[in-house]
Amino acid sequence: MDNRVVVTGLGVIAPNGVGLTAFTDAIKNGTSGIKHDSQLEQLQFSCQIAGKPELSDDFIAQYFTALELRNFNSTGILYGVIAGMDAWKDAGLTITEGDEPDWDSGTIFGTGTSGIDKFRESIYKVDDLQLRKLGSTVVVQTMASGISAYLGGKLGFGNQTTTNSSACITGTESILMAYERIKTGQATKMLAGSTSDSGPYIWAGFDAMKVCTYKHNPSPEQGSRPMSASASGFVPGSGAGAMVLESLDSALKRGATIYGEILGGHINSGGQRGTGTMTAPNSIAVQRCIKGALQNAGIKASQVDAINGHLTATSKDATEIQNWSIALNRKGSDFPYINSLKSTIGHCLSAAGSIECIASILQLHHDFIFPNINCEDLNPEINEMIDFNRIPQQLLNTNVNIVAKASFGFGDVNACIILKKYAK
């Protein structure tokens, strides 16, 4: 029989909160982590605001040795390792000592790029005929699987240790892949999550595509406006989110805190057919993904209490709401509560899915719906489909039993996960 899979540990490095407590407070209070970024201004970006986690050297030294920090220049690995180790510790688990790894634990930890700043540094050296001065850590910092390799070594994993990559669905996908692995009995515990590099070299491509807002450089905290009539593009963000998934049997045996249960989900692609392109979603595929997730989780659309949307603050927000409305066959005042974490942290790209899943799990565990900020001027197209009060502007303390969370990404890829409050 399939294992039930529960979440027993959380770790998060977000622009508006480093660590679980700070992050929980920030999302409850609608605290923005979007700030003016002087480096982006200096480099003449159109969008000069961003979401970047702030970490002190002393804090970093708690997770990395001095040797590891020598010539270290990968924000993605930095955020991912801290979030991952925090989640492991939060689950009450210890680091494997001795010569034998923990054969039943592994990680699926996604990223879009790895060590982009290290890559830049190396390319300059190579072109300057200084190849021999690169040192020994360029490969591990810039290989896509650098993050899972670092975590696997630090925690001593003996089960699958890999990195997935699928644009902005990466984090949601990693959790669903890890869920499958435990459900089918191939692992007992999996550290699932994702991370994203920070800085101009990861964000430049988006700025060049004109998908980031240029209208809020003097007002950073108002810049990220999902579902708003004045939404004008996303604000780039970065960070990492990690969760320990575990078989229910193992969690009960350990007496672990259970934050919630993963009921199931679905991952698909629109194949860049119909309305789908490399950068735009095929709506039929999105609807199929949501319906597929409900079916896989064995729940009815009417049971969904809240949606944590992808909702990046572009013109596609209304299309997303329409797709949810069609897939769930719910509208107006019957529509579930919906929120977008991007209003306070921006779009954390490959880290978005995992950080947003953590926010969703926290809602289940602590019974609240975090507020959306910057959509007091709701997009009228959205208001035609769903009631304004389904989009909380203030913290809502209410019983939350089931959250549906979806992520959509370049390549016309979709992922939807169904999370539930744990009950025997």
Q: Which value, in Å, is the radius of gyration of the alpha carbons in the chain?
A: 20
349: left (phi over 0), alpha (psi -120 to 50) or beta: left
Q: How far apart are the first and last CA of the chain?
A: 17
CB nearer to another protein: give 1 or 67: 67
Q: Which stretch binds another protein (CB under 8 A): 5-13, 35-43, 66-74, 400-408?
A: 66-74
CB nearer to another protein: give 142 or 287: 142
- Work out whether 135 is an interface residue with another protein (CB under 8 A): yes
Dist. CA 403–CA 292, nearest whole Å: 15
Q: Which residues contact 287 (CB under 8 A, 6 or more apart)?
A: 323, 326, 327
Report the catalytic residues.
168, 310, 347
| Least distance CB 104 / another protein (angstroms) | 27
| Least distance CB 126 / another protein (angstroms) | 15
Helix (H) or strand (E) holding 184: none
| Least distance CB 161 / another protein (angstroms) | 18
| Least distance CB 141 / another protein (angstroms) | 12
- Work out whether 67 is an interface residue with another protein (CB under 8 A): yes
CB nearer to another protein: give 125 or 291: 125
- Do residues 271 and 304 make contact, with C-beta atoms less than 8 angstroms apart? no
| Least distance CB 135 / another protein (angstroms) | 5
Q: Which stretch binds another protein (CB under 8 A): 36-44, 107-115, 129-137, 395-403?
A: 129-137
- Work out whether 136 is an interface residue with another protein (CB under 8 A): yes
- Work out whether 66 is an interface residue with another protein (CB under 8 A): yes
- Work out whether 99 is an interface residue with another protein (CB under 8 A): no
- Work out whether 129 is an interface residue with another protein (CB under 8 A): no
CB nearer to another protein: give 70 or 210: 70
CB nearer to another protein: give 134 or 284: 134
Q: Which stretch binds another protein (CB under 8 A): 130-138, 172-180, 190-198, 260-268?
A: 130-138
How does 145-164 read in b/e, with b if 16+ C-beta sit within 10 Å?
bbbbbbbbebbbbebbbbbb
> Interior CA angle at 342 toward 272 and 114, to 5°?
65
What is the distance of C-alpha 137 from the center of its chain?
A: 27
Coil vs helix vs strand at 117 = helix
Q: Among 70, 210, 300, 366, indicate the residue that binds another protein (CB under 8 A).
A: 70
Helix (H) or strand (E) holding 62: none
Coil vs helix vs strand at 201 = helix
**Of residues 330, 343, 335, 323, the one with CA closest to residue 406:** 323
| Least distance CB 71 / another protein (angstroms) | 8
Q: How many residues bind another protein (CB under 8 A)?
A: 7
Q: Which residues bind another protein (CB under 8 A)?
A: 66-67, 70, 132-133, 135-136
